[in-house]
Amino acid sequence: MGTLTRFVLLACFTLAATHADAQTLSIQGDRFAVDGVPKFLTFISYYGGMGAPDVAADFRFMRSRGFDGIRLWPNLSTGPQLPNGDGSLRPDVLSRLLFILDRARDERIIVDVTFTAEHIGGMTAAGARNEIVATAAALKPYRNVLIDIQNERNIYGPGGRGLAANDVASILAGIKAIDPDRIVTASNSPIETDASTAAFARDVGLDVVAYHDPRGRFWYERDVIQSMVGTLKTSGRPVYLQEPMTTRDSRFAYPSHDRSEYFEKAIANSKLAGAAAWCFHTDVAIDFREGPALLEDRLRALPEPEWTFVDWLLPRVVLRASNGVNYLTAETGGGGEVHADRPAAGAWETFRVLVPAGGPMVSGDRVAFATSDGAHYLQAINGGGATLRATGTSVGPWETFVVEREDGGVVWRGDSMSLRANTTPWYVIAESGGGRNVNVNSTNRGPWETFTVTFVQP
């Protein structure tokens, strides 16, 4: 038994004992599920993470801002590269990869491990298979990982050429022989159509169809995304929009990519179209050898579209009553009564919206509202039929509300919406349309049960 083989087996046995309660990614129909619960997943590009100085801090930041996962390239030359030219793994770099996955586990981050054979000199299709199958063996204890056999396999791969379908199938078979439950894809660039990409995933037997956007001028519009996702869903697999429009690219000029609103619309329309996951594709984390050490600082340095999008992703909102004057407030910032009698919005009137189904808030979502003290949630006393208070200390049935927007779809800045208490017929009502108490005892959805939403920066 070789040194690397012993290292991999020891890592697997050790991690199997310590990671029994780790986050689990699975597939339910055409959706991803986390720990058995279906969820729309939001990723962020973190290609150069192998060289990132503080992945733990980066992951904590991502989680705090609503990202579910990262896309990591272990072969990228801006950090330590995982394989040798023949596909054998470098033990020290494998240790680095496992360290990153440990930190991801700690922060409950999903990791898309994407291989890029073109970045390794002398790599062949056989070498790529050696690398990926050996890595799959080492990663077996990590159930929060999906594997992309080759980034844009139809144009990139060993020697800078595409990876043929039979090579993808061979690598897939090798992974499944070691780990039958591992979620595996092989992404396609838009040189392939969405229809041929769907057929490729189905014919090869991939678990997920991963497609990279054609990046036209109206790439973010609902009809464009619905058409693309609808075609990809004919594969019968979850649709992972792994590389939509990039926020910036030094090699190519793209349209409609310089404002956050484009990306906001894109992720929201992707969720509405039935995609399973979407990635915020930014190049700020490609190379950590120069520049700020932390991902947060890199994003903050770019107000549009990066930082504005990050601010928007995990929304903080204020809710104005229908009289147009008063705002909903959690007295003392939470832990007590709720009124709709404030003429201005401040900290007590600001709520963080949690969407367990993932992604932006859309009509029909079940959501929870965290108060500004960080310890409480809005709660329909007795589950509805009584008052609204800010006394919940965790998210349960009484702290869950269904968002209803008259025309359906995404809840945007300035939109009006109503809140129904979970599975009940009871709506949240600002008595007299504002200026008084707030209850959850109305069975009609009228003006007093309607609130205008304003998104605020943290």
pLDDT (tens digit per residue) in 88-135: 999 999 999 999 999 999 999 999 999 999 999 999 999 999 999 999
What are the respective helix, strand and coil percentages of the chain, to the nearest 5? Answer: 35, 25, 40
With a CB cutoff of 8 Å and minimum separation 6, the contacts of 195 are 231, 234
Q: What is the pLDDT of residues 170-190, one digit of tens each?
A: 999 999 999 999 999 999 999
Provide the pLDDT for residue 22. Answer: 63
Backbone φ and ψ for 273, nearest 5 degrees, come out as: -75, -10
Residue 3 reports pLDDT greater than 60 = no
**Average pLDDT value for residue range 126-146:** 98
Answer whether the bond into residue 305 is a cis peptide, omega within 30°: yes
Provide the pLDDT for residue 13. Answer: 35
Confidence category of residue 249, pLDDT binned at 50, 70, 90 = confident
Residue 220 reports pLDDT greater than 60 = yes
Residue written as token pair 């995609």: 275
Amino acid at residue number 178:
I
| Burial class of residue 35, CB neighbours in 10 A (0-12, 13-18, 19+) | middle
- Domains in the chain, ordered, with CATH? 3-313 (3.20.20.80), 316-456 (2.80.10.50)
Provide the pLDDT for residue 456. Answer: 87
Residue written as token pair 């990066």: 306
Confidence category of residue 454, pLDDT binned at 50, 70, 90 = very high
With a CB cutoff of 8 Å and minimum separation 6, the contacts of 426 are 380, 384, 385, 420, 440, 441, 442, 443
Q: What is the pLDDT of residues 13-33, one digit of tens each?
A: 333 334 445 699 999 999 999
**Average pLDDT value for residue range 433-444:** 97
Backbone φ and ψ for 457, nearest 5 degrees, come out as: -80, 145
Q: Half-sphere exposure (CA, 13 Å, Cβ side) for 211?
A: 30
Quick one: what percent of the chain has pLDDT higher than 70?
Answer: 95
Spatial separation of the C-alpha atoms in residues 368 and 373, rounded to whole Å: 15
Spatial separation of the C-alpha atoms in residues 440 and 389, rounded to whole Å: 10
Confidence category of residue 348, pLDDT binned at 50, 70, 90 = very high
Q: What is the pLDDT of residues 28-82, one digit of tens each?
A: 999 999 999 999 999 999 999 999 999 999 999 999 999 999 999 999 999 999 9
Spatial separation of the C-alpha atoms in residues 94 and 160, rounded to whole Å: 24
Answer whether the bond into residue 83 is a cis peptide, omega within 30°: no
- For 386-397, the DSSP string reads EEEEEEESS-SG
- Segment (H or E) for 406: none
Note whether 312 and 321 are within 8 A (CB): no
Residue 375 reports pLDDT greater than 50 = yes
CB atoms near residue 456 (< 10 Å): 14
Determine the 3-state secondary structure of 187 from DSSP.
coil
Residue written as token pair 């969720």: 271
| Burial class of residue 324, CB neighbours in 10 A (0-12, 13-18, 19+) | exposed
Segments of 120-227 assigned E as strands = 145-148, 183-185, 209-212
Token representation of residue 452: 């205008």
Confidence category of residue 458, pLDDT binned at 50, 70, 90 = low
